[in-house]
């Protein structure tokens, strides 16, 4: 008889369900992870609402913390029973795309399916969990290319302390890394959801000395201060662009990080920049963007616009866990609620409606 597990699957727009599925069989390059903690991402809510399409029946979720249950025959240097995480993005690091510095855009596993030429370049294809293969909101998950993606958890760190590493922290910090921040810079971070809060913490770690956090929710702006913001601006109470100009003596910010994915935040991020400044975009946009001519200096302003998908891989995860272990930042404050996997539908309801001051929900299969 096939051993079964519980898994959270997308059924139809507006509907996810906890169902029984077979525990997956492993191939030589895989690892089977028993999930001890996972979480729900804003992207999962887009999937639930039908705004981001996935195949019905797919297990969703892409943030795994767990224990190695079984290792594929080709995976070396790990032990069964070891506590590990894997990035939300699981490249295999063999492709031209990965070796060209864009591993998150690595679709080389699609080559045998004739969906990706022979090169591996395919935008966003590094995101496999809960997108193209079964994800982490289950009792077990199969990690592909495990040798490249399994990262052992340092002793002494709890599941909650590393739960942000696979996605939220990796993405938020990438926003800061992509912002060309120099010591003494002024950086404005638009939106203070979990990713924006990590971008705020990352901007400070990168050496910004004036971090300005922008959101419409005072509760979140309170947490921005804990995460390292020097100034908080509630866009409902002020004109953000003129406030930033005031704060910078009319110079403009050195960098702006966009962590939401709307025309309004993208446009304001451009408008607060100094000439020569960098806009680091993290948002997932769901419609066309317009670039305002005046803020763009007609294309002659030496602005840089960088975009990113969450970086994955074991070296990325090792570094992020080092940041946590060295107590440079405490992301435990982002985990505001805990639910059993059995109650995940209720957890989605809470998270999707942003009730009770929720930031991130820890989901525990047992």
Rounded Cα–Cα distance for residues 331 and 162 (Å) = 8
Comparing CB distances to Zn ion, the nearer of 43 and 108 is 43
Min dist CB 52 to Zn ion, Å, is 11
For Zn ion, the binding residues (CB under 5 A) are: 41, 43, 167
Query: Please, which residue, 274 or 360, has the CB nearer to Zn ion?
Result: 360
Q: Which is nearer to Zn ion, 47 or 324 (CB)?
A: 47
Residue nearest to Zn ion (CB): 41
To Zn ion, the closest distance from the beta carbon of 224 in angstroms equals 20
Smallest gap from Cβ 171 to Zn ion, in A, equals 7
3-state SS string for 84-128: EEECCECCCCCCHHHHCCCHHHECHHHHHHCCCCCCCECCCCCEC
Of 72 and 130, which has the nearer Cβ to Zn ion? 130
Tell the smallest beta-carbon distance from residue 150 to Zn ion (Å). 19
Closest CB to Zn ion among residues 136, 224: 136
- What is the nearest approach in angstroms of Zn ion to the Cβ of residue 177? 18
Long-range CB contacts (within 8 A, 24+) of 217-226 = 217/192, 219/357, 220/192, 220/193, 220/359, 221/192, 223/192, 223/197, 223/333, 223/334, 223/359, 224/189, 224/192, 224/197, 224/200, 226/333
Q: Which residues are CB-neighbours of 366 under 8 A, at least 6 positions away?
A: 36, 139, 340, 341
Q: How far is the CB of 198 from Zn ion (least distance, A)?
A: 12
Buried b (16+ CB within 10 A) or exposed e, 74-96: ebeebeeeebbbbbbbbbbbebe
Name the minimum Å distance from CB 303 to Zn ion: 27
Nearer to Zn ion, 106 or 167 (CB): 167
Whose Cβ is closer to Zn ion: residue 167's or residue 215's? 167
Report in angstroms how near the CB of residue 26 gets to Zn ion at its nearest: 24
Cα gap 16→345, rounded to integer Å: 7
Sequence-separated (6 or more) residues with CB below 8 Å from residue 277:
252, 253, 254, 255, 256, 303, 304
Q: Which is nearer to Zn ion, 137 or 210 (CB)?
A: 137
The C-alpha atoms of residue 24 and residue 4 are separated, in whole angstroms, by: 9
DSSP states of 188-244:
EEE--SHHHHHHHHHHHHTT-SEEEEEES-HHHHHHHHHHT-SEEEETTTS-HHHHH
Nearer to Zn ion, 43 or 59 (CB): 43
The answer for 354, left when phi > 0, alpha when psi is -120 to 50, beta otherwise, is left
Q: Cα Rg for the chain, rounded, in angstroms?
A: 20
Least distance in Å: CB of 341 to Zn ion? 18
């Amino acid at each position: 008889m096939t051993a079964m597990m519980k898994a959270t699957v997308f059924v139809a727009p507006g509907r996810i369900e906890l169902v029984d599925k077979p525990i997956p069989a492993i191939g030589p390059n895989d690892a089977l992870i028993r999930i001890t903690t996972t979480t729900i991402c804003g992207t999962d809510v887009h999937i639930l609402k039908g705004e981001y399409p996935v195949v019905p029946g797919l297990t969703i979720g892409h943030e795994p913390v767990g224990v190695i249950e079984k290792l594929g025959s080709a995976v070396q240097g790990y032990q069964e029973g070891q506590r590990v995480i894997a990035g939300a993005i699981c490249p295999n690091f063999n492709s031209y795309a990965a070796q060209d510095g864009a591993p998150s855009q690595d679709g080389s596993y699609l080559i045998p399916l004739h969906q990706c030429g022979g090169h591996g370049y395919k935008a966003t294809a590094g995101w496999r969990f809960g997108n193209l293969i079964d994800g982490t909101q289950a009792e077990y998950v199969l990690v592909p290319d495990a040798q490249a993606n399994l990262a052992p958890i340092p002793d002494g760190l709890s599941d909650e302390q590393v739960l942000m590493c696979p996605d939220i922290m990796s993405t938020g910090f990438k926003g800061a890394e992509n912002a060309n921040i120099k010591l003494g810079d002024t950086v404005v971070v638009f939106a203070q959801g979990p990713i924006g809060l990590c971008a705020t913490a990352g901007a400070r770690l990168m050496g910004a000395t004036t971090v300005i956090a922008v959101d419409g929710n005072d509760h979140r702006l309170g947490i921005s201060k804990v995460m390292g913001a020097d100034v908080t601006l509630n866009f409902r109470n002020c004109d953000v662009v003129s406030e930033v100009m005031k704060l910078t003596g009319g110079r403009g910010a050195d960098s702006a990080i966009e962590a939401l994915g709307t025309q309004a935040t993208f446009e304001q991020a451009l408008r607060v920049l100094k000439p020569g400044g960098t806009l680091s975009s993290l948002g997932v946009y769901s419609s066309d963007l317009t670039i305002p001519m005046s803020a763009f200096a007609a294309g002659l302003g030496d602005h840089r616009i960088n975009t990113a998908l969450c970086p994955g891989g074991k070296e990325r995860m090792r570094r992020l866990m080092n940041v946590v272990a060295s107590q440079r930042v405490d992301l435990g404050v982002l985990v505001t609620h805990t639910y059993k996997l059995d109650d995940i539908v209720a957890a989605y309801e809470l998270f999707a409606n942003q009730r009770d001051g929720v930031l991130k929900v820890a989901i525990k299969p047992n």
